[in-house]
Amino acid sequence: MKIELTHIKKQFGAVRANDDVSLVIESGSIHGLLGENGAGKTTLMKVLSGYQLADSGHILLDGQPVRFGSPAEAIRAGIGMLHQDPLDIPALTVLDNFILGSGGGLAQKRAAARKELRRQCQRFGFDLAPDALCSSLTVGERQQLEIARLIAQGVRVLILDEPTTGISAPQKALLFETLHKLAVEGLSVIFVSHKLEEVEQLCAQVTVLRQGRVVGAMSAPLDTDRLVQLMFGQCLTSATRPSLELGDVALELQQASVHTYRLTLAQVSLAVRRGEVIGLAGLEGSGQRLFMQACAGIQRLATGRLVIDGQDMTHQPYCHFLDRGVAFVPAARLEEGMVPGLQIREHVALTRDGHGFFMRWPQVDEQTRDMIQEYNIVGRPETLVQELSGGNQQRTLLALLPRNLRLLILEHPTRGLDIESSRWVWNRLAERRREGTAILFTSTDLNELVENSDRLLVFVAGQVSAPLPARTITCEELGYLIGGKGV
């Protein structure tokens, strides 16, 4: 199916998300859509997939004009979108989520749906248990379920928005293999990303957006330096990581064990000093999130002790951890980090002290404007947080953190961010280090782990390695350790 977008315009208040965008996607191709965070990529794809209506412009499918009022209409026309956070219902089973959206509700013939799910899984090499709860799946498995569901519904155009964010290397390899197979079968694939190496590996044609406009296009073989210049308007130099003298112990775990019904971490001992950065490496679901939640006071220890800045915090409630200067920044920004439906200024009001019983809104608005300017957030005090791009949501989360933290715990801090935004995040975290904040973070990007950590912990199926010096380990060696070799 050939797609033509002509003169698409979409505006949110004063922000022009798409400003006269035109591009063509050929049938049977994998087309990359590149751009920094906030460039308008996701908005354009939401227009194409029926999630949003364009203010003006036209969509042509095989030369025929179409206009979608909902995602369901787009799917019926053969266009489906896999969002950065897959759309599913965690409390339902894999099979129930597979059935949803296909008409007939959950009461349709489940035996036929189960057979079709298994057929799609066999076709693409997915390993999905129909009766497992969707909440038990990794991000990569949730993506696989969404792909199987959309293909079963007959889509001929598959849009993927930052699909490799938060998935493991084996899952990424399987995803790329699946996309190549779909293109060979004649489907059109639109791969939305900011990761140049993935676009170079996967796409035959690339279109670059910047500030809502098409600024260039390129066919393989791709010129990486030229793409960077198109994305950011300049060439980016490599960042250097300054050395820092570490302070006293900020976090200490003594023979700590924590477990859920799915996973157990046992007998973990670790001391983290002020200003130190500890990277947590491992395949998704290996225990990093459970470890971080325990250090933040969200999960309680089963055995052992947890000490923050010399004070025993074992079995203390989460609010006491907040009082001691511990902060946790989750990967799920809207689901766990912020409140959809609230404005930026309302988040500032919730997180800033000193307002008393009555809210002083002029003071809140002034604080919000200062925060927006300091953190370069593309938005206004009255902007709803769900209307921000992923990069601006992350900037907002970091801006809302209190000063003088003892321990900052971040889950995928640059998830879905472009090169420039990722560098901005780490510059801000470097400022925190200089102020004496100890940092724990996890990432699926091995380069990010090696380049930004002082020491590394490797998690393999609930087992935790001894701390490893990051400066003496390569990404290849770290990959072997994550795979279970030598841990």
pLDDT tens string 171-221: 788 889 999 999 999 999 999 987 778 888 899 899 999 888 999 998 888
Distance of alpha carbon 17 from alpha carbon 43, whole angstroms:
7
Domain enclosing residue 315, as ranges: 249-325+402-482
Determine the residue type at 391. G
Distance of alpha carbon 144 from alpha carbon 138, whole angstroms:
10
Q: How far apart are the first and last CA of the chain?
A: 48
Largest distance between two CA atoms of the chain = 69
The number of folded domains in the chain is 2
Of 399, 350, 363, whose CA–CA distance to 378 is shortest? 399
Look at strands 277-282 and 438-442 and give their pairing: parallel
Q: Does the pLDDT of residue 106 top 70, yes or no?
A: no
Q: Does the pLDDT of residue 235 top 60, yes or no?
A: no
- Domain end marker among 170, 200, 232: 232
Give the residue, 250 or 358, on which the prediction is more confident. Answer: 250
Give whole-number Cα distances, 241 to 39, 87, 433, in Å. Answer: 28, 38, 11
173 lies in some domain: yes
pLDDT for the residue 462: 81
Q: Are residues 219 and 253 in the same domain?
A: no
Q: Are residues 215 and 297 in the same domain?
A: no
- Domain end marker among 166, 201, 232: 232
Q: What is the share, in percent, of the chain residues with pLDDT greater than 90?
A: 50
Distance of alpha carbon 205 from alpha carbon 200, whole angstroms:
9
pLDDT for the residue 484: 66
Q: Are residues 46 and 176 in the same domain?
A: yes
Encode 269-306: b = buried (16+ Cβ within 10 Å), e = exposed: ebebbbbbbbbbbbbbbbbbbbbbbbbbbbbebeebeb
CATH number of the domain that 315 lies in?
Answer: 3.40.50.300
360 lies in some domain: no
Mean of per-residue pLDDT scores for the chain:
87
Q: Does the pLDDT of residue 314 top 60, yes or no?
A: yes
Q: Which two tokens stand for residue 458?
A: 């490797």
172 lies in some domain: yes
Q: Does the pLDDT of residue 22 top 80, yes or no?
A: yes
Q: Are residues 182 and 272 in the same domain?
A: no
